[in-house]
Amino acid sequence: MATTTRNGPAGPPTGPLGLTDEAGELLGLAREFATKEIQPPAAEQEAAGVFPRATFAAMSRLGLLALPYPSEYGGGDQPYEVYLRVLEELAAARLTVGMGVSVHSLACHALARFGDTSQRAEWLPAMLEGELLGGYCLSEPTAGSDAASLRTRAVRDGDDWVITGTKAWITHGGIADFYTVLARTGEDGPKGITAFLVPGDAPGLTAAPPERKMGLSGSPTAQLHFDGVRIPDTRRIGELGRGLPIALAALDAGRLGIAACAVGLARAAWQEAAAFTARRRQFGRPIADFQGTKFLLAELATQIEAGRALCLAAARLSDAGAPFTAQAAMAKLFCTDAAMRVTVDAVQLMGGYGYSADYPAERYLREAKVLQIVEGTNQIQRLVIARELLKDAAG
């Protein structure tokens, strides 16, 4: 049975679609938490640039920060498909929260998937259920799309590594409790990079003031300076020189998180616009009565549904242990472009009211733009899709 919520008809049902009872309950819990706790202060906190740290602590206690990870380490043991549907709920209420959960999950990925047993046992439980917040440090001022050109260097000193350099655009930069950091330990290029897990309070690690952005103001994004940050070799994740494949594997999963957030944001914008068109009267009738309005709302809803389907299909591949790199890139590309289109058209459907900061539509539009940029721009997604498919085509 389809549930009707504040998010309207574009919101997915919690019951069918092959979800277990447990997953259905989880989705219901996430939706209730999002509606009652996340959404009400969103507009005010975004305007003031406030990050909802207490909300993240509460989500940690509810297990919402650990859903796709093994229960052995405090995770929720949920399929990726279920995790993405929860993310959609969180992002529909506030993108800062949905994306924050996605980035935290990205930051846990390297250790969970590539750490050895003792590393996982030592750090993963606190990262997953200890009310900690993670950050993921790949980008640098001169290494964005070309991540393999990164210059932050880690130099071996006895049993330690000493890290020096600058990371750029780090979500949760300066407030995270731990960072997954990619640093150069060897030759130039993709094979000279290694992954490390760095505590947020490591001596020598400082954050610049948060970037001033066009949206997502509640989510701090900052440069991080590593000035001789010393960490033991036990905090090296995976083999020396294997950091880039580790970083890219995390991004495959992370891109699906961004896609799910885009679906949530688009859904919130659609609902806002649809409700407005039902209320607003011109020429003696609700503007929703005009065929031009109806056709546009129908097209936008179709984009949202198609995006969700693509995203969840990629998640099912991941859950089945099948390769999903191309499908994750397709989902990221399609869903974030759809979110951009839906939010632009939502403002248009609301006329001058859509452009006013008294309604959330203009904020949704400003927030949508970043989703086309983070975790690989949509140009880079096209490169990934073509590379993967042509590899397959070549046999």
Ligand X SMILES: Cc1cc2nc3c(=O)[nH]c(=O)nc-3n(C[C@H](O)[C@H](O)[C@H](O)COP(=O)(O)OP(=O)(O)OC[C@H]3O[C@@H](n4cnc5c(N)ncnc54)[C@H](O)[C@@H]3O)c2cc1C
The dihedrals phi and psi of 112, each to the nearest 5 degrees, come to: -65, -35
Binding characters for ligand X, 98-127, by CB under 6 A (x = yes): -----x------------------------
Determine how β-strand 236-237 pairs with β-strand 285-286.
unpaired
Q: Smallest distance, Å, CB 313 to ligand X?
A: 24
Q: Between residues 112 and 312, which has the closer beta carbon with respect to ligand X? A: 112
User: For ligand X, which residue of 93, 124, 133, 170 counts as binding (CB under 6 A)?
Assistant: 170
Residue 209 interacts with ligand X (CB under 6 A): yes or no: no
Looking at 153-161, 255-263, 339-347, 370-378, which segment touches ligand X (CB under 6 A)? 370-378
Look at the block and give the residue holding tokens 């289109």. 341
User: For ligand X, which residue of 57, 202, 296, 373 counts as binding (CB under 6 A)?
Assistant: 373
CA distances (Å), origin 207, targets 100, 158, 220: 18, 27, 11
Q: Smallest distance, Å, CB 379 to ligand X?
A: 3
Residue 336 interacts with ligand X (CB under 6 A): yes or no: no
Q: Would you call 375 a catalytic residue per the annotation?
A: yes
Q: Between residues 273 and 370, which has the closer beta carbon with respect to ligand X? A: 370
Considering CB under 6 A, how many residues would be counted as binding ligand X? Answer: 21
- Pair 177, 132: CB distance under 8 Å: yes
Tell me which of 37, 140, 367, 375 is the catalytic residue: 375
Q: What is the DSSP letter of 377?
A: -
Compute the distance between CA of residue 190 and CA of residue 147 in angstroms, rounded to an integer.
8
- Rounded (5°) CA angle 219-355-308: 60
Short-list 334, 343, 332, CA closest to 368:
343
Q: Smallest distance, Å, CB 342 to ligand X?
A: 20
Looking at 4-12, 14-22, 136-144, 330-338, which segment touches ligand X (CB under 6 A)? 136-144
Q: Between residues 51 and 270, which has the closer beta carbon with respect to ligand X? A: 51
Residue 169 interacts with ligand X (CB under 6 A): yes or no: yes
- For the chain, the straight-line distance linking the first and the last C-alpha, in angstroms and rounded, comes to 44
Short-list 110, 12, 93, 25, CA closest to 62:
25
H-only helix segments in 280-324: 291-319
Q: Between residues 68 and 174, which has the closer beta carbon with respect to ligand X? A: 174
Looking at 51-59, 119-127, 192-200, 373-381, which segment touches ligand X (CB under 6 A)? 373-381
Residue 136 interacts with ligand X (CB under 6 A): yes or no: yes
Compute the distance between CA of residue 243 and CA of residue 233 in angstroms, rounded to an integer.
14
- Pair 196, 237: CB distance under 8 Å: yes
Footprint (CB under 6 A) of ligand X, residues 137-166: 137-139, 144-145
Q: What is the DSSP letter of 137?
A: E
Q: Smallest distance, Å, CB 218 to ligand X?
A: 11
The dihedrals phi and psi of 181, each to the nearest 5 degrees, come to: -120, 130
Residue 379 interacts with ligand X (CB under 6 A): yes or no: yes
What is the set of active-site residues?
A: 375
Query: Which residues here bind ligand X, judged by CB under 6 A?
Result: 103, 136-139, 144-145, 169-171, 213, 216, 221, 370, 373-377, 379-380
